[in-house]
Structures are given as C-alpha cells and as structure tokens.
Structure 1
Amino acid sequence: MTSKTNLKRIREIYLRNDNDDLDNTVSEDDKSSSGSDSDYCGSETESNDTSTDEYISKDDDSSDSYAADNDTNINIQPDTLEKNGVRWTKECNSNHGRLRATNILKKKAGAVTSVNTIVDAFKLFLIDEILDAIILHTNNYARRYYNQLNQKRNAGIYKSKLILWKELDRIELEAFLGLLIQAGAAHMNHRSIDELWDISKNCPLYRATMALKRFQNLLRFIRFDDRLQRNKSDRLAPVRYILESFAKQLPRHFIPGDNVTVDEQLVPFRGRCSFVQYMPGKPSKYGIKFWLLCDVDVRYTLALELYAGKINNVIQRNLSTDVVLRLIDKLSDQVKQGRSVTYDRYFTSFELADGLLERKMTSLGVVNHKRSFVPGELKIIRNNLYSSWFYFSGVHTLLSYQAKQKKPPIILLSTMHNISEVFDDEIKLPVMIHDYNQTKFGVDVMDQCINGYTVRRISKRWPMIVFFNLIDIAAINAMTLWLCKYPNWHNQRKHVRRLFLEELGRSLTNPHNTRRSEQSGHALEVKLALQSLGFVLKPKLLINQVHMENSVKRKRRCYMCPSHPGRKVQQVCDICKYNVCRSHSSSFTSVICHSCAEK
C-alpha cells in the first residue's frame, strides 16, 4: 500500500509539470477562452444538457435569483424553511454517538498492483485482449481493402502488379503506440509526418522503427471492430469493445484517497460524428465528451464513460444523477465506503445525494438555483455581505453564502458537513466552500495533464480520437502506479512526466527495433538510425550462415559433376554453399570444393 508521502509527491509532480498556474484558492471568474493548457473557463453549455465547470469565488454569479421587494427583513435569517416536502432548520442535528458508516474508510489509498517495468504499468490498461482485437480487425479491413483495389485495377485488359498487405502483429502495434507517445512527449503530435521521419531534423527513433509509408497505412487502416457485423443502432459500436475493456481495468489497480471528483472532459474533434458536443466555455468548443471519475490527491482516472447523446432517439432523463451513480458503481463496495464525491452544479441534486448515502458515500456540490428543492429565501440577494445561512435536514446541509454585493448568493448542498463552520478571516469563508475549492479540480487537472503531452493527431475519424484519449489516460495512470512503486524515480528532476513518456516510448519500440536490426536489405538511413540508437546490425554473410545452419541439408546433384552419372550428395561446400561430391572436394576440417580451392 502506498504511503501518503508518496501520494503527496505524485501530486506535486503533476502540479509542477502541468499546473503551475493552477491555484487551489479561487480568484475571480475566468472569462477568457485561451487555448493554453492552464486556462479554464467558467461555464459550459451543451446541445442536450447544461453543465458548469468552475470554482467558487466571491465573484460567483448565478441565474434565477431575485432581490427582495422589501429590504427591511432582508438580512434576517428565517428559523425554518420548507420546499417540496423537505423541512430545513437552523439547528444542526449533530450526533456525538457512533461514527457514521460514511465516515469510515475500509481501504487505504494507494496502488494495488505492483509493477516491475514502465511497459508493465502501461499494459495493465491497454491489455493484450485490446491489442489482439485491434490487430485482428485492422488486418481484416486492410486485406479486404486491397483485395477490392486489386480487382478494380485488374478488371481491364492490362494487368497490374498486385498490392499485398503486410500483416500487423503485436510487436509492431506496440512500436506504433510507442511512436505516438514519443511524438506527444516532444510536442510533435501535430508536426508533419515527413518532418518526423527526417533524421537530420528530429530523433532517429521514427526512421529506425518503421517506414514512413507503413506508419501512414497504420493510421489509415487501424480499426477496432468488424464493420460488416456492426450493430448500426449502437452509436458506440466502432469502439464499444475496446472502451468497455479499458474501463474495466481502471478501478482494479488503484484505491483512491478520501475525495474523488466527477466532471466532464471535452476531447477536441470537429469531424463527422452524431454526438459531437458544443461547449462555448471550453477552449476547443467542439468535441467528444467523456464523463470521468478521478482521484483528487493524485492524477488517476478511476472510471470513464463516453457520452453518446440520445439512446434510440430518446432523450435521457435524470442524466446527471445516473451518470454519477454509474461511475461510482464501477468501484467495489469496500472502496466506496467512507469517500466523498465532489461535483459541480450540473450534477448536484437531492436524489443524487441520497443515492450516494445508500452507497455509504458523502457528497459536496454547488446547487443550481433552478433546482426544485432550493427554498426561495436562499436565492434572495442580501445586503449583509459575506453572510452565511446554514440549514439542516437530516444528514443534508444547505448553505447560502452572499459572496458579492448585488449578486445572487452561492448555494451548496453537502452530506459531509453537519455543523456551521466559518473561517475567521476578512470574507468569513465557510468551510464548505473551502472544501469544495480543494476537491473540485481533479478532472480539470487530469485534462490539463493530457493537453500538456498528448498523442492526439488530426484525424477525420472519431474512433481514432477516442483511441488517442484512451492512450493518454493509460499513460497518466501508468505513471501514477510507477511512482507509487518507485517514489524516488528522478525525484530531483523537473518534467518527470516527460521523462516517463520518453522512456515508455523507447521501451515499446525496442522489441521491434531489435527485430529490424537482425534483418537485411534496409536503406542506408535506416541503418544509420538503428546504429545511432545503439542497435548492432548483423553482417549479411553472418545472416546467411545462420540461415544455412538452421536449414535442413537436402540431397542434390553435385554442381561440378556432368549430367551423367550426376551424383546426388548431401555434402555442401562451406564457402559457396553448393552441393559437391567427394571427388570434387577436399575435406580436412571443412569441405571446400576444387573451384573454391583454386580461388
């Protein structure tokens, strides 16, 4: 089990590498739409649902709030409130007896699976079954494509040379993934492929691993399912198998800390896709949306789900509640107990809080003023600045905080706080808001890490965009497991994540490069690239000798005898490798034919 010191260092590494500009304390609302990795905008809207992704500050603003008509009693807090059958009181129902089950952790945080190499950590998520499925469907699609192409080319009078597909295997597929990761670590994922393969401008790893045309063909032909047997009613059919197999591996290898976060991730994409989302608050604005469940202490994705919009042309009801509960249910019961879930105003509801309590988990979130359970008195704009109104109903706590003058108050719903706590500072910040600010950014920082070093390349096919995102998540999770096992790995270096990705890329390409170094017939640039990476090339003669030693010697005619009588012998000359009889050879310690002896 991983100590808290190791988890603290992992968090510092991620924050130092990718989140230098991220402040856990909240400043004013960020309205910019910059494309930098550390910029996050306040609100997000979608085509089918509305979502927000923001921290709470004293400048937070909300809609559907109103000012009171009579200002005489505007600062007086009512003793009780009631809305939709829920009665709220000012008196907290603190119980000093036994601890609730929601406050007892049964599993300590840390890595569950021990890893010995970086590649082993990466393959815990992109398992062999996923790679085998990709190999199978890619080879089938490429063979079918070239067969149809050859039939069209040979349909006329003139016959052309057949084009054959070279079969893809696991070693080559892993090398392909290694090149993608290496390009992402060097911020060359959007660089022209021709420039990447130029050894005078870039790292020779690309040229040494595979040919430029082969890399382009793999990007073109890679598939994740059989199109002929695809379920057309399923929007996620092209990636269904690899997505579900990948999601099953996420919660198996790591136990989260006390707090987890649920939020959305928008992967940029502007191609043809029936469930592309529009979020004007995001830097990319258009893309494919993922729901993520992430740990707050370290950057680890525990569960994910791809949002595909309508199901059978039916709009999904109670989507926000169902998404959170589906993600949480992917964790085991012992892992769920005692942990707290933080989410933004799009998810927060009374039903979700009760559903998490049934799973022995607490929750904390900002409340949208449109929610039906929010009493109207809490939406009133108060004159008393920095005032906090606490209300309690069973294990639920509702807070209304006046953060700014002439602005609607901030409302939070919590099941992890059961008393009225306020910091003794200038703005009298409630503890609930402070805890929200400290636990909300899990998914946001994960998204920033991905944008800092991503394997995503420009593609018109949305399944490739999904696959690129899975590779990025697998690389971040693998680094977390690796640092849990080896907390002192490059502990004095900056940009530890870049070093990890470079080592992962080299480790994935090494088996394929070793196999290439044993082959002959490479171009001069390929040989120079392999030698610059430290691979020893086998001489051509040595390769022929190994081939002849491993091959079975067959009985053939002596090449020096006339056709009659034409002796058939099994003996072979050690120099020219032709079959020769004893009459035309001299044998001492080796067999040498007379023709070679004269030379």
Structure 2
Amino acid sequence: MSNKRKYSEAELCQILDESEEEYFSDDSSDGEYQPEHESSTESDSDCSGVSQDAEDSSLEAHGVNLLHGVSGDEVPYPASSKKKVSSEICWSPPKVLFIPRHTVTLHRRTASLCNLDMSSDEMAYFLKVFPRSLIIFISQCTNKRLDILRKKKNLVNLCETDPGEILLVLGCMLVMSYNKVPSISDYWSHNPSLGNEAIKGAISRNRFQLLISKLYFTDPEQPASSSKTYYIDEVISCLKHTFSKARDESPYQSIDESMTKFKGRSALKQYLPLKPIKRGIKIWERCDAMTGYAYDLNVYSGKELGQDLPESSTLGERVVLSLTKTIRNPDVTLVFDRFFTSVHLLNSIQYPAVGTAISTRKNMPKFQGKLKRGEFEFLANHQRTMAARWQDSKEVTVLSNCHDATVNTANRKQKDGRKVKVDCPELICFYNKYMGGVDLSDQKVGVYDFDRRSNKWWKKVFYKVLMLAVVNSWILYMDTTKKDVRLLQFIVPLAEKMMAMGKEQSKVKRKRCRGRPSKIAKLMLNVGDHLPVEGNTRRRCMRCAQNKVEKRTKTLCTMCQVPLCRQCFTSYHT
C-alpha cells in the first residue's frame, strides 16, 4: 500500500462512477439493492441487501480504503461528487437483547386539578373548562354585531346583551340538545306536548333567535392578515388552555381527526368518505385513550407550516408535533393511526409512540414473502424503532419506539363462529387497546349534539366545542366524586342551573304585554252574566252580519248588549 500513489479528487470521482456503473450494468444484480449506510461497519453488516463485493474489490484495487477513504491519509469523498451517500434507514431482524429507545408508560390514576370537592355542583365544573372570562368576551363581541345591526336597520330600541343573558342562551342550547323538536320556534309553542315551559319562562322567542343569529366570537372587523380560522381562534385558544389545565395528563393518549358536520360553502370543508360524518370541518384532537377527555385540539385550515416545524415534514408529522407541544407531563405514551405515522417521526419524537403505518412510505422496512393468518415478523433499525408485520384478515404493519419483539395472544373469530386465541405482537395489542380515545370523545359528544342548521362554519365548530366542554366537565365531575353518572344526569341539572343563573344575573329583563285585554278575554269575563233577553225592536244579528248574512232578531245579550239570534248566541261567546 505504501508504493501506491495518492489519487486526486477528480480521479477518485471517476473511479467511483466507473465502479457504480459496473455494478448496475450487471443483469444478475438484485433489484432490492440498498446503498451502503454511512455509519459504522457494524451497522453496515446488519443492513439487509446484496453485498457490494464487486465495488469493494474495485475500490481496493485502486488504493481506496472502505472505512477511511483513500489509503494513507484520511481523505474524505470529494464534495463535488455527483453520487451522494444515501441516508436510507436500514432494517434488520432484532437482536435477542433488543432495547427500544423509550419505555411504555406505567399505568397510573389520572387526577383532576380543578380544586373542587364533592359538594361542588355541575355548574362549578363547567366553569372550570368554559370560564366566565370567555362568556364575557362572547357578550362583548355579540354587542358589536348588535350595534352594527342597530345602525343598519335604525333600531333605536334594540337592547345590548350581557354575560348573564349569554349564559342563559347557552343553557337553552343545552336543553335543546337533549330535548329536540322539529323547529326552534316550536319550543315556544302553546301546545303542551310540543312547547318547553323552561325555555318559554326564561327568554322570549324573538330575543333568543336574535341573539343566536348575532352570536359572535371575535372582532367583526377582520384584519387583512388574519388566518382562515379567525372567527373561532379566540374560543379554541381559550379552551385549549383550560382543557389542559383542568386535568392531569393521562398515561395513554391517542391522536386522530374529528369531523364537525357542515354542508355549506367553505374553503375549510373536507370530504372523508370513510367517516360517519363525511362532509364538514376537520379538527385534530389529542384525547385520553380511556375516558375520551380532550386535552388539545386544532382546526384544520390547510397545509400550513406551523412555527418551528420543518418544511420537509409530512402533514401528519406536523399535526402530532403541534399537539404534543402542550403536554405538561412527559410521561405519556401516544397512539395514532397510519395517517400520522412515519419512520422519521418514530425515530425523532421525544415521547413513546405506537402507530400503524403504510408499507409504501419512505424508509419503511421491506418485508419479504407472504404470511398466513396469525403469523408475524419483526424488523428493527439502528434508532431502536421496532416494526412488526402481522397477518390478520389483512396484513397489518405497526411501528413502535417503546416495544420489543414480545408476543401476546388475541381472540379472533373463525368462519364457523368459534373464537380462538392466536399469537399477536404485543405492540399491535397495545395499539388496539389505546387507539380509540378520539372516537370515544366523538361518541359522547354526538349523543346530545346541538345539531342546528347554519351557513357559518364557525358556528358549527362552536356548537361542537361547547358540547366538548360539557363532556370534559362531566369527566372531571366523575373523577372527583368517584360516581358513575350518566351524561344525561349531568347535563340536565347543568342546563337548568345555567338558565336560572343567567336569568338572575342578566340586566336585560323580559317585557310582558300590559295592554288592554283582548276581545275574547272581555267576552269570557263573568260568563254567568251573559244571558239572552228579549228586546223591544228587531235588529240585525251581530254574528250573522259579520258573515254577511241578513238576519234580524229581538234577542240581546245582557252583558254585551248586542243583538244575537238563537243559533249564534253560543258560538259568539266561545
């Protein structure tokens, strides 16, 4: 080696190009060839793929050291080389003593941080997640809309609203969520089987419809540089803070999308054909996997890059990194589906994470062959991320940075209806157990949803987050009182207390009609005094004259002093 001269950078580039062309020109070479990893020799030996004996021998013949570049001095590959070393991640079967990069969070009890005791009522828990400051802010924004309406229509007698009346309106909305009628105006119906006495006694129909139409959550004067979610940003920002502050972080949390039904016109509307709600506004949520408590949420407004997020990251990676910024206790294990999962995310995230994956994504392991039902296969990379492939009715691929190659059992139904136990990787069992947190939250919110039509997408989102706040306060109530209470048993007294408190605190008092009594009321007063007597002359019957019928009679009513024939006397007084 000492007799061989050192090659210049241009000569080294030519030698490398010729060696690669010589390798790829061979028709018998393996199509699954993967370039050599630029780490240590141990990592190269573990990589799957065809060995580069032809290329190595060619380089050694020209005096190139495979570990340190050129023989003698450590000269690196020239920067001007057209062929760059690939950064593809290598996968290999895990070693016997494989240790994942993170460990799964141990199970612990999640405590409420509301500082409330068992004597606190439902209203106190609701105000912990939907604070009074937000109600005051909504009343101020609504007054700006009412002021615009007053100037536009010249309505001098239009009264402004206040926080008490807004609380009253929210209470009526909760009543309407579990007591549904065909139309909002039907709640004020005089029919006892259709109208609602609590709502009729709390607020008038016209005032409620005015406030619900002018309900606003930001300044009406939208700046030119505002975001697409400008109309609901303040409410979402407030609830994100209170949701996270009111409850300790649960050990297992799931990240997924939630849909708010909306069929109007909006640039934010999404179409997801596989979801129960196919058209609407998409909301990213991070929820407790066991109870469905929502810790964080973001409204999807397009593929916008957030702060401190790399441009090369996928949308799923940006969503996960954005939702995990608000986690206060790092001892949390995250679970998400294949939309969010990528090898880069599992290798770089600072939390234990498990997720199903798409086999064709970048840097995914290349499994060989097909498996029978119940069979599985493991591969691991040098960042200590585990990939498992398991054959169920379909092939499932799961990535995890906190699991090893442990195998568990799962129950599966056969064609004849029998349930048998089959081998299943532990990380897949973990995913199936803790993935449904967001779906559980949607299930609870959708039971008593305030589903009313609106052509404003941000109002539909507000109705959704309002019920989300009710569900979160219900979960906090059960955590503190240790009682298993149904949602209906919680929401009914909450709505009644909101209406009572709002009616008491509101400065806008309902005006009752105090005019002269109606004609029907006068006719039915002292019914016993309405007696028929015979008059002196024949006069036209009052009721027949109203029906344009010419008929005269001597009969008069002693109370009304109007002529009425015998056939019209009873019908006139009823």
TM-score calculated relative to the size of structure 1 = 0.64
Alpha-carbon distance between aligned partners in 2 of 1:176 and 1:520, rounded to the nearest angstrom: 13
Alpha-carbon distance between aligned partners in 2 of 1:311 and 1:229, rounded to the nearest angstrom: 20
The equivalent of 1:194 in structure 2 is: 185
Alpha-carbon distance between aligned partners in 1 of 2:229 and 2:156, rounded to the nearest angstrom: 32
Partner secondary structure for residue 221 of structure 2: helix
The equivalent of 2:491 in structure 1 is: 501
Partner secondary structure for residue 369 of structure 1: coil
The equivalent of 2:169 in structure 1 is: 176
- The counterpart of 2:373, out of the listed 385, 388, 392, is 385
The equivalent of 1:85 in structure 2 is: 89
Q: Deviations over 1:323-359 (max 9, x none)?
A: 1111111111xx122x211100101112222333x2x
Q: Is the 8 Å Cα contact of residues 310 and 316 (structure 1) preserved in structure 2?
A: no
- The counterpart of 1:470, out of the listed 444, 456, 465, is 465
Correspondence 1:433 to 2:428: yes
Q: CA deviation at 1:92?
A: 4.0
Q: CA deviation at 1:167?
A: 1.1
- Equivalent position amino acid for 1:336 in 2: P
Q: CA deviation at 1:519?
A: 6.5
Q: Equivalent residues in 2 for 1:247-326 (5 A)?
A: 247-311=240-304, 318-326=314-322
Partner secondary structure for residue 326 of structure 2: coil
Q: CA deviation at 1:400?
A: 0.8
Alpha-carbon distance between aligned partners in 2 of 1:233 and 1:517, rounded to the nearest angstrom: 34
Partner secondary structure for residue 329 of structure 1: helix
Q: Deviations over 1:458-495 (max 9, x none)?
A: 1111111111111011001000111111123xx4x7xx
Alpha-carbon distance between aligned partners in 2 of 1:172 and 1:413, rounded to the nearest angstrom: 51
Q: Is the 8 Å Cα contact of residues 352 and 402 (structure 2) preserved in structure 1?
A: yes
The equivalent of 2:125 in structure 1 is: 121
In structure 2, relative to structure 1, the CA distance for the partners of 1:251 and 1:521 (3 Å cut) is closer
The equivalent of 2:324 in structure 1 is: 328
Q: CA deviation at 1:114?
A: 2.5
- Equivalent position amino acid for 1:324 in 2: V
Q: Is the 8 Å Cα contact of residues 230 and 238 (structure 1) preserved in structure 2?
A: no
Q: Deviations over 1:69-98 (max 9, x none)?
A: 9xxxxxxxxx96469232322424345xxx
Q: Deviations over 1:442-468 (max 9, x none)?
A: 101111111111123211111111111
Partner secondary structure for residue 157 of structure 2: coil
Alpha-carbon distance between aligned partners in 1 of 2:103 and 2:318, rounded to the nearest angstrom: 20
Alpha-carbon distance between aligned partners in 2 of 1:196 and 1:428, rounded to the nearest angstrom: 57
Alpha-carbon distance between aligned partners in 1 of 2:291 and 2:249, rounded to the nearest angstrom: 8
- Equivalent position amino acid for 1:340 in 2: T
The equivalent of 1:205 in structure 2 is: 198
Q: CA deviation at 1:269?
A: 0.2
Correspondence 1:416 to 2:411: no
Extract unaligned runs of 5+ from structure 2.
1-30, 32-45, 50-86, 306-310, 411-419, 515-574
- Equivalent position amino acid for 1:372 in 2: K
Correspondence 1:449 to 2:450: no
Partner secondary structure for residue 391 of structure 1: strand
Q: Is the 8 Å Cα contact of residues 208 and 513 (structure 1) preserved in structure 2?
A: no
- Identity, % of aligned positions: 21
Q: Equivalent residues in 2 for 1:428-577 (5 A)?
A: 428-488=423-483, 491=484, 496-514=486-504, 522=512
Q: CA deviation at 1:260?
A: 0.3
- Equivalent position amino acid for 1:281 in 2: L
Which protein shows a greater Rg?
2
Q: Deviations over 1:246-288 (max 9, x none)?
A: 2111111112332100000010001121111011112231100
Q: CA deviation at 1:203?
A: 2.9
Q: Deviations over 1:521-571 (max 9, x none)?
A: 5359xxxxxxxxxxxxxxxxxxxxxxxxxxxxxxxxxxxxxxxxxxxxxxx
Q: Once structures 1 and 2 are overlaid, which stretch shifts more, 315-324 or 240-249?
A: 315-324
Q: CA deviation at 1:386?
A: 1.6
- Equivalent position amino acid for 2:330 in 1: K
Alpha-carbon distance between aligned partners in 1 of 2:105 and 2:428, rounded to the nearest angstrom: 23
Alpha-carbon distance between aligned partners in 1 of 2:513 and 2:95, rounded to the nearest angstrom: 81
Correspondence 1:352 to 2:338: no
Partner secondary structure for residue 113 of structure 1: coil
Q: CA deviation at 1:377?
A: 2.3
Q: Deviations over 1:376-405 (max 9, x none)?
A: 325x433x332110122353111011224x
Alpha-carbon distance between aligned partners in 2 of 1:234 and 1:318, rounded to the nearest angstrom: 21
In structure 2, relative to structure 1, the CA distance for the partners of 1:316 and 1:236 (3 Å cut) is farther
Q: Deviations over 1:78-131 (max 9, x none)?
A: x96469232322424345xxx987456698522111232211211122222322
Partner secondary structure for residue 428 of structure 1: strand
In structure 2, relative to structure 1, the CA distance for the partners of 1:433 and 1:325 (3 Å cut) is same
- Equivalent position amino acid for 2:432 in 1: N
In structure 2, relative to structure 1, the CA distance for the partners of 1:451 and 1:217 (3 Å cut) is same
Alpha-carbon distance between aligned partners in 2 of 1:518 and 1:149, rounded to the nearest angstrom: 21
- The counterpart of 1:238, out of the listed 227, 231, 254, is 231
Alpha-carbon distance between aligned partners in 2 of 1:80 and 1:316, rounded to the nearest angstrom: 25
Instruction: Name which structure has the greater RCO, CA cutoff 8 Å, separation 6+.
Output: 1
Partner secondary structure for residue 92 of structure 2: strand
The equivalent of 2:384 in structure 1 is: 395
In structure 2, relative to structure 1, the CA distance for the partners of 1:284 and 1:297 (3 Å cut) is closer
Partner secondary structure for residue 339 of structure 2: coil
Q: Deviations over 1:16-62 (max 9, x none)?
A: xxxxxxxxxxxxxxxxxxxxxxxxxxxxxxxxxxxxxxxxxxxxxxx
Partner secondary structure for residue 284 of structure 2: strand
Q: Is the 8 Å Cα contact of residues 333 and 352 (structure 2) preserved in structure 1?
A: yes
Correspondence 1:375 to 2:375: no
Partner secondary structure for residue 91 of structure 2: strand
Alpha-carbon distance between aligned partners in 1 of 2:326 and 2:267, rounded to the nearest angstrom: 27
Correspondence 1:214 to 2:230: no
The equivalent of 2:36 in structure 1 is: none
Q: CA deviation at 1:374?
A: 1.9
Q: Is the 8 Å Cα contact of residues 92 and 391 (structure 1) preserved in structure 2?
A: no
- Equivalent position amino acid for 1:144 in 2: I
Partner secondary structure for residue 328 of structure 1: helix
CA RMSD of aligned residues (A): 3.1
Alpha-carbon distance between aligned partners in 2 of 1:102 and 1:417, rounded to the nearest angstrom: 7
Alpha-carbon distance between aligned partners in 2 of 1:316 and 1:500, rounded to the nearest angstrom: 46
